């Protein structure tokens, strides 16, 4: 896919236009996930900077800022541990807006990944408003059904923020088409059933779910997440997906022997650069 193959700038939104620009350059977009507040808020912003900067000028195009939540449905063990520690140290919803401002200042696109209760508790319209004001492109809401969110539609339309819904290998054709029609920016496709986490091999279901998504609605980019751990896997997935999403492998760079100190920003930059390089060679 390229920008010219997407037929609506409105469907692309702010974050989708970043993806389309990457595709016009001959590569998919690299999305790096990191939990705000881990090990502490300042450290997490340093980590996001390292993911954007990467190595040898290669890094992430989009940062998926994870909001720690006490009852996650999708997060694997690595992210759960990071989020538990962030919560114990008092991370607050407003910290994601601080992180978004920092990411935007680096020239990357900040997105937020959060569960619906966080948005609802903050105030739906206020959340979309403050995210837009911080330079955020939109939010990924893994537990929000695309057909049960009129208030979120209204708020995101009012403030020009993108709404990213999830599809899975188990999604019916009808459900997939509806979810994609409800999305703005891009669609998050999970390549395996289950929670996030590093995997030694990518799932064959990834290519299938992307193909099905494009058949259902070719007007919006499709990203793949869950399991990417290095440059080779990024190249494999980037050959067919519009976005390559990496999370647990990056957070692992900030974890040592089950603890969260000492963390290694050099290792984080190196891994981000390797993934970016894999994404670049995926279409060559």
Q: What is the pLDDT along the chain (284 residues), one digit of tens a residue?
A: 554 567 678 899 999 999 999 999 999 999 999 999 999 999 999 999 999 999 988 999 999 999 999 876 777 788 989 999 999 999 999 999 999 999 999 999 999 999 999 999 999 999 999 999 999 999 999 999 999 899 999 999 999 999 999 999 999 999 999 999 999 999 999 876 444 444 445 557 889 999 999 999 999 999 998 678 899 999 999 999 999 999 999 999 987 555 555 678 999 999 999 999 999 999 88
CA angle 241, 242, 244 (to 5 degrees): 70
Is there a catalytic annotation at residue 280? no
* Phi, psi angle pair for 64, to nearest 5°: -90, 105
Of the residues 55, 61, 75, 260, only one is catalytic, namely 75
Assigned architecture for domain 18-281: Alpha-Beta Barrel (3.20)
Report domain extents, the chain: 18-281
Helices (H) and strands (E) in the chain, counts: 12, 9
Decide: 141 and 116 in contact? Cβ < 8 Å. yes
Question: What's the Rg (C-alpha) of the chain?
Answer: 17
Is there a catalytic annotation at residue 274? no
Of the residues 64, 95, 236, 280, only one is catalytic, namely 64
């Amino acid at each position: 896919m390229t920008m010219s193959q997407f037929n609506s700038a409105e469907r692309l939104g702010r974050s989708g236009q970043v993806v389309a620009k990457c595709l016009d350059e001959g590569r998919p977009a690299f999305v790096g996930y990191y939990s705000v507040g881990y090990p502490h808020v300042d450290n997490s912003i340093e980590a996001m900077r390292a993911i954007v900067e990467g190595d040898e000028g290669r890094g992430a195009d989009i940062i998926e800022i994870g909001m720690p939540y006490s009852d996650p449905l999708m997060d694997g063990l690595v992210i759960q541990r990071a989020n538990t520690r962030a919560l114990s140290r008092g991370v607050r919803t407003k910290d994601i807006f601080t992180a978004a401002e920092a990411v935007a200042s680096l020239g990357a696109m900040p997105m937020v990944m959060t569960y619906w209760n966080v948005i609802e508790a903050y105030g739906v319209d206020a959340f979309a408003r403050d995210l837009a004001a911080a330079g955020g492109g939109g939010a990924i809401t893994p537990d929000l059904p695309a057909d049960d969110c009129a208030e979120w539609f209204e708020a995101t339309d009012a403030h020009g923020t993108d709404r990213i819904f999830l599809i899975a290998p188990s999604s019916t054709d009808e459900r997939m088409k509806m979810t994609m029609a409800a999305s703005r920016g891009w669609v998050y496709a999970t390549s395996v059933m289950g929670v996030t986490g590093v995997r030694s091999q990518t799932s064959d279901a990834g290519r299938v779910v992307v193909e099905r998504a494009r058949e259902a609605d070719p007007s919006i980019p499709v990203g793949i997440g869950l399991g990417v751990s290095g440059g080779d896997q990024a190249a494999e997935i980037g050959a067919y997906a519009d976005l390559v999403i990496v999370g647990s492998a990056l957070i692992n760079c900030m974890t040592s022997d089950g603890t969260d100190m000492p963390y290694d920003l050099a290792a984080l930059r190196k891994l981000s650069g390797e993934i970016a390089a894999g994404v670049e060679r995926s279409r060559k």
